Every structure is written in structure tokens, then in C-alpha cells.
Amino acid sequence: MRDDRVLGDSFDREDGEDWGTYVQRSARHYREVLKAEQSHWDDGTFPHHDPTLILYFCLTTANQEEWNELESKCQ
């Protein structure tokens, strides 16, 4: 069953990219994503916005199997 309240995203390392560069690149990317999503929430334009709820972000790691399971719930 799809849960529309769960949004997932993957930000993969580029071929040959060193770890430090990947961390910095992904941090910049998600800083912008989180700021934009917070703005959508504040404006009431976030999908399934409910002003009685609090927007919650959770950044985590997942192996491929875990990611596939999460992604299937989001589709």
C-alpha cells in the first residue's frame, strides 16, 4: 500500500567521486531541497498539507534492499 506521506529520494555518488566531494555535494543539494520543501509547507502548497501536523525530515542511510522497499511504498 502506498503511503503518500512518505517521500523518498536517492542521491548517488558519481563514478570516481571521492567521499569528501560526495558528502559536500549531497549536503549542498539537500540543504536546498529541505529549504524548498519547508517553504512549500509554510505556504500550504506541500502535497497533503495539514496545518495541524509538523513537517518532519529524516535523513538516513539505506542499503539497496532497504531503499527498494521504501521506494515501492512511495510509488
pLDDT in tens, 3-34: 555 566 778 889 999 989 998 998 899 899 88
Locate all alpha helices (DSSP H) within the chain, ordered by sequence.
Answer: 19-43, 64-74
- The pTM (predicted TM-score) of the whole model is 0.64
pLDDT of residue 16: 96
Q: How far apart are CA 4 and CA 63, in angstroms?
A: 22
Which residue from 1, 3, 6 is spatially nearest to 58, judged by alpha carbons? 6
Distances (CA, A) of 39 to 7, 36, 42: 16, 5, 5
pLDDT of residue 1: 43
pLDDT of residue 21: 93
